[in-house]
Structure 1
Amino acid sequence: MVTLILAALSTIFTIFFVSGINQKTVAAVIGTISGVVTAGFLAWHFGNMILLTGYSDESVQMLQYTSTAANFKGLLFSGIVIGALGAIMDISVSIASSITEIKQSNPQISFNSLIASGFRVGKDAISTMTNTLILAYVGSSFPLLMLYQIHHTPYDKIINNDAVASEIVRMFAGSIGLLAAVPITVFISAFLSYNDS
């Protein structure tokens, strides 16, 4: 919960500081926070459902010896939220900026056409951002996957390993957070752009 609040504050500060307070940034902030909350909820839900412990990373195991009071499961979920924040913020700002530019270039555009344009931009952006997110997570786990391959570890044991399961939850939560941010940002940005004129 603390991570979600800090992510929301970070989003507000970052976007408003970089682009100022206007209808475009308001839409981007709302879309980003919605996507991050979705990613956080899904990470928490699926992580609890598949019994993630948070002890999968070497640095967490070292931290365990110095601080037994730390909530390692909470740290795992906080890392998932923070990891997804950048990608979700990127896609929300891109969509809000695109819709604002479309509306300024064609003030006569209908609300439905503006929404359709926003979804086309979102569709293109989501495919590349999801790939970026997944490849980043796979890239960080590559040595572990190579180790499993060398030792001919069965796939069911690989998937049930806490480290691999954590990365799978990261991928799904982050990707679905991105997917959730797109329609919210599109509708809010189109609504604000259309009513601003």
Structure 2
Amino acid sequence: MNVLILLAAILLVLMVLVGGWQGAKAFISLFLNFGVIFFTVFFMLDASANPIVITFIACIVIGCISLFYINDVNSKTVIAFVSTMITISLLLFFIVIVSEKLMIHGFGEEGEEAIAGLSLYIGVDFMKIGVSVIIMSTIGAIMDVAISIASSMHEVFKHTPTLSKKELFKSGVSIGRDILGTDTNTLFFAFFGGYLALLIWFKDLHYTIGDIMNSKIFSSEMILILCAGLGIALVIPIASWMNAYFLVRVKTVKKEQSEKL
């Protein structure tokens, strides 16, 4: 525990030194988001509750904390928040369909020993829980791309206010292309970093490539990576269009008001 406190203190000091008060708020937001996830799990234990609806509400709260609390309420954070929620909503339908078709919910053979003495009749829909896990795992990457595009496009338009809506949209998509590759690879290596021991275990058990690909653990994680990549790809044009429309619209309104005066 002392080591954990020490690491947390070092992280806090570094975030404050680098980010100032905003870095301190980012550190506090980690605990706030942890609290949201804790209460999300708590509410999911209710058999009458819908885990997907609860997760979507949790995503809204997490988005408010991560965007509005850290970066304040402004045009960049509002557009990033709206584009994130639109992307999550579109992604929900796709994830539900994929989860039902692939039947990845439930426990895999690799976890049989760990759950052998536990009751599996807990009254929870594991398919919906699986969808909730994927959504909760993707919102961070989607928000990251959304706020990055919003900040970049606002800065571009600030220095080049003569850009048209189409040109500004192309700039946002161009920025998004650079983010797309790095974020997708980040998710990919995060999976292999977290499941390196499992892959070594697969090798020791002489799993074939087919066995690994059909393993529930491996399949569910690959679906998580692919869905997160899909969310990142979707949020790029959505955030780019919303920022381009807003910035050009605000410029047009200001111009009309100045002409009236």
Q: TM-score, normalised by structure 1?
A: 0.89
Greater gyration radius: 2
Residues 1:108 and 2:162 aligned together: yes
Deviation track 1:86-136 (CA, whole Å, cap 9, x = no partner) reads: 111001000001001111111112222211111111000111111111111
SS of residue paired to 2:195: helix
The Cα of 1:62 is off from its aligned counterpart by 8.0
Deviation at residue 45 of structure 1 after TM alignment: 1.5
Of 108, 114, 127, 1:73 maps to 127
Structure 1 counterpart of 2:9: none
2:72 maps to 20
Q: CA RMSD in A?
A: 2.3
How big is the shift at 1:63? 10
| 1:47 equivalent in structure 2 | 99
Matches within 5 A, 1:65-144: 65=119, 68-144=122-198
- Shift in Å, 1:11: 1.0
Give the CA deviation at 1:171.
1.0
Give identity over the alignment, percent.
26
Q: What's the offset of the Cα at 1:38?
A: 3.4
Cα distance, 1:70–1:5 mapped onto 2, change above 3 Å: same
Q: Deviations over 1:32-75 (max 9, x none)?
A: 112223333332221110111232485x9489538722333322
**Deviation per residue, 1:127-158 (Å, 9 max, x gap):** 11111111112222222222222232121221
Separation in 2, partners of 1:53, 1:82: 16
Q: Which amino acid aligns with 1:137?
A: F
Aligned to 1:167: 221
CA distance, structure 2, for counterparts of residue 25 and residue 173 of structure 1: 23
Q: Which residue of 2 aligns with 1:10?
A: 62
CA distance in 1, matches of 2:99, 2:120: 25
Q: Structure 1, unaligned stretches of length 5 or more?
A: none
Structure 1 position 170, deviation (Å): 0.5
C-alpha distance in structure 2 between counterparts of 1:55 and 1:64, whole Å:
12
Counterparts in 2 of 1:21 and 1:62: CA distance versus 1, 3 Å: farther
Aligned-partner SS, 1:65: coil
Q: How many residues align?
A: 197
In the alignment, is residue 37 of structure 1 matched against residue 37 of structure 2?
no
Provide the C-alpha distance between the structure 1 equivalents of 2:227 and 2:80, rounded to a whole number of angstroms. 19
By how many angstroms is 1:179 displaced? Answer: 0.7
Counterpart residue type for residue 24 of structure 1: K
Highest relative contact order (Cα 8 Å, sep 6+), 1 or 2? 1
* 1:152 to 2:220 alignment: no
Which deviates more, 49-58 or 102-111?
Answer: 49-58
Instruction: Answer whether contact 1:23 1:193 (CA < 8 A) is retained.
Output: no
| Distance in 2 separating the partners of 1:66 and 1:156 | 28
5+ residue gaps, structure 2: 1-52, 252-261
